[in-house]
Amino acid sequence: MRMAETDKKATLQFEGKTVELPIMSPTAGPDVIDIRKLYAQGDVFTYDPGFTSTASCESTITFIDGDKGELLYRGYPIDQLAGQSNYIEVCYLLLYGELPDKAQFEEFSYRITRHTMVHEQMHNFFRGFRRDAHPMATMVGVVGAMSAFYHDSTDVNDEWQREVAAIRMVAKMPTIAAMAYKYSVGQPFVYPRNDLDYASNFLNMCFSVPAEPYKIEPALARAMDRIFTLHADHEQNASTSTVRLAGSSGANPFACIAAGIACLWGPAHGGANQAALEMLRTIGTVDKIPEYVARAKDKNDPFRLMGFGHRVYKNFDPRAKVMKESADEVLDLLGIHNNETLKVAKELERIALEDEYFIEKKLYPNVDFYSGIILEAMGFPTAMFTPIFALSRTVGWIAQWKEMIGDKNQKIGRPRQLYVGEAARDYVDIAKR
């Protein structure tokens, strides 16, 4: 890790006090004022809901330049990785910091492939859920429950156990997501096949049935793999920060990843892919778009265009650019050109990109806008969109969690607050209130 310390200082003056704060310099991105000693030296806190100006950790994994629309995993641009690499290689890169050589790649693939089955008793655990449970609800429960099935990889202070937990989760997450899907549609679980690559195996577990052979279309497997790669990590977003916060207490890795999945489910985060496609269906026809665009602009209406906007990207979302190309390829391959949802999506994208409100607020289609279109074309129901995001992001969460455990500056996460409630007052007996 590069040292971020510099000789630069920021001086904060208030109420006759002066506090000098060190300035740290990242590899890329703006300087960071180190406020760790601020409370001790100045007796003040900072207030930053949503962490819009606050770095919560040092990290070497992922970098985003929101103005340039740049996303790097360990320094490598996302479009190069999505175009030339593959998800397993990207997993290795995120977890260990460098691209693998051939032998490392083969050994890593072998380990992932040999851990794809879940404990047979977990099948019973799945069956405890209602048939109509959302697969994300099932995933939160099942991944959390892994700590009850794999006791030998829950000790966060043991490096080997951390490593085994990481491999287990990357390997088993497609199996768990596919099982959640199969259960929701009343079909039998399909066991993983170790002769298939990661993406093909996932498609097979989702779409094959014992009654007839299932042919995996290589181009669709490649598109699936690209979706995994594009979602693999995204630095300190809400779910990753949740994983780190949960992990900061020493919670076991399965519990931390379950917490990340729960956070990802929200429509402002990973749940946006499902919400975006449902929105396109609700809009229904191209002539209804102006009505919804007007609602999105109305301050008194909570409606937002799902799949638009991003906290960090203010120019374009580089993942969306690759995803859009991939969507075109998949739709061509499947011969889908004139479906109504797609027409609404294309027209909505065109209108929003030309509309003053969206231009001024720098609201562009994000990754979730296009991923739903591809996943629907592949045959996934909308409820599976966010589970697919969760399985792709698992490696990023684990890489961040492992980094946090190894960080000498790591402390239990414990934000302060700006208390605006009642001052201390005496209890009044119920008869006198």
DSSP line for 237-265 = -HHHHHHHHHHTTT--HHHHHHHHHHHHT
Among 118, 279, 306, 323, binds ligand CMC (CB under 6 A): 306
Instruction: Select from 241, 231, 180, 240 the least CA-distant residue to 205.
Output: 180
- How far apart CA 79 and CA 226 sit, in angstroms, is 10
C-beta of 62 vs 366, nearer to ligand CMC? 366
Q: Which residues contact 116 (CB under 8 A, 6 or more apart)?
A: 171, 172, 174, 175, 192, 194, 201
Determine, following the binding rule CB under 6 A, whether residue 367 of this chain makes contact with ligand CMC: yes
* Residue closer to ligand CMC (CB basis): 138 or 366: 366
* The only residue of 225, 368, 376, 403 in contact with ligand CMC, by rule CB under 6 A: 368
Q: Which of 69, 174, 309, 372 binds ligand CMC (CB under 6 A)?
A: 309
270 binds ligand CMC (CB under 6 A): yes
Which among 108, 240, 122 is positioned nearest to 176, based on CA atoms? 122
Q: Figure out which of the listed residues 162, 244, 269, 402 binds ligand CMC, where binding follows CB under 6 A.
A: 269
SS3 state of residue 209: strand
Cβ 269 to ligand CMC shortest distance, Å: 4
Quote the tokens at residue 47.
């207030």
**296 is a site residue for ligand CMC (CB under 6 A):** yes
Pick from 19, 88, 305, 404 the residue near ligand CMC by CB under 6 A.
305
Site for ligand CMC in 342-361 (CB under 6 A): 361
Stretch (H or E) spanning 30: none
379: left (phi over 0), alpha (psi -120 to 50) or beta: left
Q: Which is nearer to ligand CMC, 1 or 294 (CB)?
A: 294
> Catalytic annotation on 287?
no
Residues contacting 324, CB < 8 A, separation 6+: 365, 370
Tokens in use for 62? 């992922």
Say whether residue 282 binds ligand CMC (CB under 6 A): no
Phi/psi region, residue 146 (left: phi>0; alpha: psi -120 to 50; beta: rest), is alpha
Binders of ligand CMC among residues 213 to 242 (CB under 6 A) are 237
Q: Does 321 bind ligand CMC (CB under 6 A)?
A: no
Integer Cα distance of 349 and 355 in angstroms: 10
Q: Which of 118, 251, 272, 330 binds ligand CMC (CB under 6 A)?
A: 272
67 classed as catalytic: no
Does the protein bind ligand CMC through residue 89 (CB under 6 A)?
A: no
CB of residue 104 to ligand CMC, shortest distance in Å = 30
**Residues in binding contact with ligand CMC, number by CB under 6 A:** 19
Handedness of CA 399, 400, 404, 407 (dihedral sign): positive
Q: Which residues contact 14 (CB under 8 A, 6 or more apart)?
A: 42, 44
> Between residues 363 and 399, which has the closer beta carbon with respect to ligand CMC?
363
How far apart CA 279 and CA 306 sit, in angstroms, is: 7
Give the nearest distance from C-beta 76 to ligand CMC in angstroms. Answer: 20
Shortest Å distance, C-beta 105 to ligand CMC: 29
In the complex, least distance from residue 157 CB atom to ligand CMC, rounded to whole angstroms? 31
Q: Secondary structure of 304-368 in the HEC alphabet?
A: CCCCECCCCCCCCCHHHHHHHHHHHHHHHHCCCCCCHHHHHHHHHHHHHHHCHHHHHCCCCECHH
Q: Is 117 in the site for ligand CMC (CB under 6 A)?
A: no
**Contact call for residue 311 and ligand CMC (CB under 6 A):** yes
Q: Does 365 bind ligand CMC (CB under 6 A)?
A: no
Is 387 a binding residue for ligand CMC by CB under 6 A? The answer is no
Catalytic residue among 310, 328, 426, 429: 310
Question: Site for ligand CMC (CB under 6 A): which residue of 366, 371, 392, 394?
Answer: 366
> Interface residues with ligand CMC (CB under 6 A)?
237, 268-270, 272, 296, 304-311, 361, 363, 366-368
Residues identified as active-site: 310, 368
